[in-house]
């Protein structure tokens, strides 16, 4: 049986390693950073740990729930009903139920009906494949109306895609709404979190991988590929050369493109069509809560963040020595000024605006501010994105690829990363049928 070398030790790479090792393959995982986990990484706070970037999961995340069961972590999942709000026209509105929708003043009664009907249609009935060439915003302006789009959908897409918001195809929106609607029970949205943070998952997974004999090599960025006769024969890393076997790349496509530029320029050019954008989370550690909302969308302009995610409204502040924790979240493109800013500049820019939304907020209640950022938070899903998604089995022998680009038209998530890891394993001839599959749309293109 061929051995497997996995490049990238985020959840996609680690899940693929688990599946492959379980089926008896010899596996190595090569990770650039000292820590495994990629975007799921955590830091210490209030005597506990917390993700750099807010993370929750959904009741229908069956792949993730499968992995948690495998790792005997099921008992550590906390499920809770969460409150969502929208800040619009200088006011916070609760946005959780049909009654909240009726009370939502920024849109008219007729607009509310259009909002309900269009959301329901997209979440339940629309076919993403025939909507790929349609911009979500164009569709919303036409069918949901101007006030609905300006108050709800445009801010949501601006937050998520920044300057790319107009390009996002309706297909992406269908994937997202489907995911959200499936997680709702009796109107309230149940979200899950792991008691002790995703670090518990990462630690358990890494331990299991070691027990299965997987070689885990961190602090070893891949620097060069050894390609001869259209065949990948090895990788050169800071910690040595690794040869022989199938190579599965789970790193963002932008990094793989650079590695391929010299030896496989045509293929690199194709991969280069996939763009990424960044995210920054400024985390406030506070003596008091900001609100009762877990998730607050900022739908007024003039704010340097698009969402306030108050983590301690999902997980009790007791878990953090009674500190209250809120993420101020912002997605950005490399062309935006925020890309060049230092963490201090970003936190200053964001924190000074908090009092506008929460007038009771007192700066003396701030214990500490933490800032985390990444330039590869998500792929830019633009019109006909499915045509850009590369095949898992690349034109270069022994080189396989499975990364966030394959999580389409769903929203990227830890759950969907496990799905694409399973699909990649199948392409490499490894059995992955035992992994349950939810109704998500990811993992269907490119495999």
Task: State the residues that interact with ligand FAD by CB under 6 A.
Answer: 7-13, 30-33, 38-40, 53-57, 221-222, 250-251, 255, 279, 281, 329, 374, 376-377, 403-404, 412-415, 417
Report which of 260, 215, 246 is spatially closest to residue 392, judged by C-alpha positions.
246
Closest approach of Cβ 203 to ligand FAD, in Å?
16
Closest approach of Cβ 218 to ligand FAD, in Å?
9
Of the pair 320, 408, the CB lying nearest ligand FAD is at 408
Closest approach of Cβ 62 to ligand FAD, in Å?
13
Of the pair 1, 223, the CB lying nearest ligand FAD is at 223
Closest approach of Cβ 143 to ligand FAD, in Å?
28
Q: Residue 389 has what DSSP assignment? A: P
Q: How many other C-beta atoms lie within 10 A of the C-beta of residue 425?
A: 29
Alpha-carbon distance 92 to 396, whole Å? 53
Of the pair 149, 250, the CB lying nearest ligand FAD is at 250
Report which of 326, 313, 338 is spatially closest to residue 283, judged by C-alpha positions.
326
Closest approach of Cβ 303 to ligand FAD, in Å?
17
Of the pair 144, 298, the CB lying nearest ligand FAD is at 298
Of the pair 84, 134, the CB lying nearest ligand FAD is at 84
Give the CA-trace dihedral at 194, 196, 198, 200, to 10 degrees.
-110
Peptide bond into 289 cis (omega under 30): no
Of the pair 13, 169, the CB lying nearest ligand FAD is at 13
Alpha-carbon distance 222 to 235, whole Å? 7
Closest approach of Cβ 3 to ligand FAD, in Å?
17
Of the pair 144, 156, the CB lying nearest ligand FAD is at 156
Closest approach of Cβ 400 to ligand FAD, in Å?
14
Closest approach of Cβ 242 to ligand FAD, in Å?
11
Using a 10 angstrom Cβ sphere, with 0-12 exposed, 13-18 middle and 19 or more buried, the burial of residue 358 is middle
Of the pair 65, 107, the CB lying nearest ligand FAD is at 65
- Residue pair 86/299 in contact by the 8 Å Cβ criterion: yes
210-217 contacts, C-beta under 8 A, 24 or more apart: 212/18, 212/21, 212/22, 212/27, 213/21, 213/26, 213/27, 214/17, 214/21, 214/27, 214/28, 214/29, 215/27, 215/28, 215/29, 216/9, 216/28, 216/29, 216/31, 216/36, 217/28, 217/29, 217/30, 217/31
Give the tokens for residue 148.
Answer: 């609905």
């Amino acid at each position: 049986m061929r051995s497997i070398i996995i490049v990238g030790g985020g959840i996609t790479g680690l899940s693929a390693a688990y599946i492959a090792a379980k089926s008896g393959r010899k596996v190595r995982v090569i990770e650039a950073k000292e820590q495994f986990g990629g975007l799921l990484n955590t830091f210490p706070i209030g005597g506990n740990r917390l993700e750099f970037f807010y993370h929750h999961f959904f009741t229908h995340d069956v792949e993730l729930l499968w992995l948690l069961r495998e790792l005997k972590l099921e008992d550590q999942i906390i499920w809770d009903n969460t409150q969502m709000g929208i800040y619009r026209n200088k006011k916070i509105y609760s946005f959780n139920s049909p009654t909240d929708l009726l009370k939502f003043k920024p849109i008219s009664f007729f607009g509310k009906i259009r909002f309900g009907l269009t959301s329901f249609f997209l979440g339940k009935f629309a076919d993403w494949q025939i909507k790929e060439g349609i911009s979500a915003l164009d569709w919303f302006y036409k069918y949901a109306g101007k006030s609905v789009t300006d108050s709800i959908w445009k801010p949501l897409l601006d937050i998520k895609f920044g300057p790319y918001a107009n390009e996002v195809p309706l297909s992406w929106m269908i994937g997202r709404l489907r995911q959200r609607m499936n997680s709702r029970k009796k109107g309230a949205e149940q979200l899950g979190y792991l008691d002790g943070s995703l670090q518990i998952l990462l630690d358990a997974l890494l331990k299991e991988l070691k027990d299965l004999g997987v070689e885990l090599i961190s602090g070893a960025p891949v620097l060069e590929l050894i390609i001869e006769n259209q065949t990948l024969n090895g990788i050169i890393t800071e910690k040595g050369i690794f040869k022989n076997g199938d190579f599965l790349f789970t790193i963002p496509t932008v990094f793989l493109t650079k590695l391929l530029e010299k030896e496989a320029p045509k293929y690199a050019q194709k991969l280069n069509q996939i763009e990424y954008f960044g995210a920054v989370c400024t985390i406030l550690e506070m003596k008091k809560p900001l609100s009762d909302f877990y998730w607050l969308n900022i739908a007024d302009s003039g704010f340097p963040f698009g969402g306030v995610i108050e983590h301690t409204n999902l997980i009790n502040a007791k878990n953090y020595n009674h500190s209250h924790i809120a993420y101020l979240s912002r997605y950005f493109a490399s062309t935006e000024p925020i890309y060049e800013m230092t963490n201090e500049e970003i936190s200053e820019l964001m924190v000074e605006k908090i009092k506008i939304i929460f007038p009771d907020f007192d700066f003396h209640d701030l214990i500490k501010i933490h800032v985390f950022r990444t330039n590869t938070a998500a792929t830019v899903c633009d019109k006909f994105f499915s045509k850009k998604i590369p095949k898992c089995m690349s034109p270069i022998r022994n080189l396989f690829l499975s990364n966030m680009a394959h999580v389409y038209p769903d929203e990227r998530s830890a759950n969907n990363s496990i799905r694409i890891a399973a699909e990649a394993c199948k392409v490499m001839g490894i059995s992955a049928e035992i992994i349950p599959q939810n109704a998500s749309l990811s993992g269907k293109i490119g495999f």
